[in-house]
A and B are shown apart, each in its own frame.
Chain A
Amino acid sequence: MRRIVSILLLIIVAVGISLSLAKIPFGTSKTKVGRYYIDEGIKETGAVNIVTSVVVNYRGFDTLGEVTVLFIATIGLGAVLTAGGREKIRKTEPASLVLYTGCRLLFPLILVFGTYIFIHGHLTPGGGFQGGAIIASGFLLIYLGCRERRISRVAFNLAESLGGLIFVVIGLLGLAFGDYFLSNFLPKGTANTLFSAGIIPIIYIAIGIKVGSELASIIDNLIEES
């Protein structure tokens, strides 16, 4: 009974969406806003990666909101799972020597790779979120491979809140110096070099550190519970 009703509902939804999609042919250019960003992007923001300039500069407010959402999820997860203190670390069997040494060798390389991706967010594909996710995967490797190591929770909390504060403070500085919240008030430099694009690299570094530590602390909380 439940299946029949849900299949009927899904057929209605499917028909509705396909009727609407018939008006949006695939592969044609349908935007005016996108074309403006591509044409004026380098001149106005200084970043050669147009997606970065859209994410951080033109629609930077959405990115601020998204960073907040991840922050809320981390806190909510912490509030639901832990009672406030850390429980005793359970004894698990130690990993073999090959695994242990391999993880210790790979961990700094993964961190460097993730840092590279978010520092160069305005020049190559990538950015703060992508780099942060890679950093978190490095931490996951340590949790799975070298099981007795634990990173202090205080360090994670500090990194999260500092990253978020830097983002909001840069926005407020933009308000103070440039009359608009999140305006690009630092010099834009020459395109295609590392020190270009004004506030964009700084924001992406803050986001990269924040996202990396948030995802790592989510992993930390979930591993404690299982």
Chain B
Amino acid sequence: MGFLNNYIYYIGAFGLILIGLYIILVKRNLIKVIVGLGILDTGVNLFLISIGYITKGTAPIFSRPGIDSADMVDPVPQALVLTAIVIGVAVLALALSLAIRLYQHYGALNLRKIREQKW
């Protein structure tokens, strides 16, 4: 139980990453693959944030003068995740626009059937 308590964030992030990868590799519908991409992004962001956590730490904001800075959590992973979330949103928006166009051309979103270019 102690192990689970300590590592629950890693296990959760890990699980999301694996679920996202499984969806992208196996599913046939393009919208499901895009949802899987979103889940993969969420898992990676959760993983990055949990690297920066310090046990019993607080937010790194000096809101009152005289606050103790000894147990503030690491601010750098939070900055990284800010960037990564925005990049993930950008990719998802572009993917959805391509899915809309693909549906207009083919009438279906089944990736096995959309194979005009073979070899």
Contacts and interface: CB of A to CB of B under 8 A. Distances in A.
Is there a contact between chains A and B in the complex with CB atoms less than 8 Å apart?
yes
Interface of A: 2-3, 6-7, 9-10, 13-14, 17-18, 21, 24-31, 33-34, 37-39, 41-42, 48-51, 54-55, 59, 62-63, 65-66, 69-70, 72-74, 76-77, 80-81, 124-125, 127, 129, 191-192, 211, 218, 221-222, 225-226
Contacts of B6: 25-27
Given A17-B14, A28-B55, A124-B61, A129 B82 contact: yes
Q: Is the interface of B mostly helix, strand, loop or mixed?
A: helix
Contact of B83 (A21, A26, A66, A222): A66
A81 B100 contact: yes
Contact of B61 (A49, A211, A221, A222): A49
Given A69-B86, A73-B90, A14 B14 contact: yes
30 contacts: A6-B25, A9-B25, A14-B18, A21-B10, A26-B6, A26-B50, A27-B53, A27-B54, A29-B74, A31-B76, A34-B74, A38-B60, A38-B69, A38-B75, A48-B61, A49-B61, A50-B72, A51-B75, A51-B78, A55-B82, A66-B87, A70-B90, A73-B89, A81-B100, A81-B101, A125-B59, A127-B82, A192-B62, A222-B100, A225-B97
Nearest to B83: A66
Nearest to B51: A24
B103 to A, nearest CB: 10
B21 interface: yes
Contacts of B21: 6, 10, 13
A26 B53 contact: yes
A211 B9 CA distance: 30
B69 to A, nearest CB: 5
Given A17-B14, A70-B90, 17 more contacts: A2-B26, A6-B25, A27-B55, A50-B75, A62-B83, A69-B86, A70-B86, A72-B90, A76-B97, A77-B93, A129-B82, A129-B85, A211-B86, A222-B93, A222-B100, A225-B100, A226-B100
A63 B83 contact: yes
B94 A77 contact: yes
Contacts of A211: 86
A42 B62 contact: yes
Contacts of A25: 6
A66 B101 contact: no
A6 B23 CA distance: 10
A80 B98 contact: yes
Contact of B72 (A30, A38, A81): A38
A62 B80 CA distance: 9
Contacts of B85: 129
A164 to B, nearest CB: 14
Contact of B76 (A14, A54, A73): A54
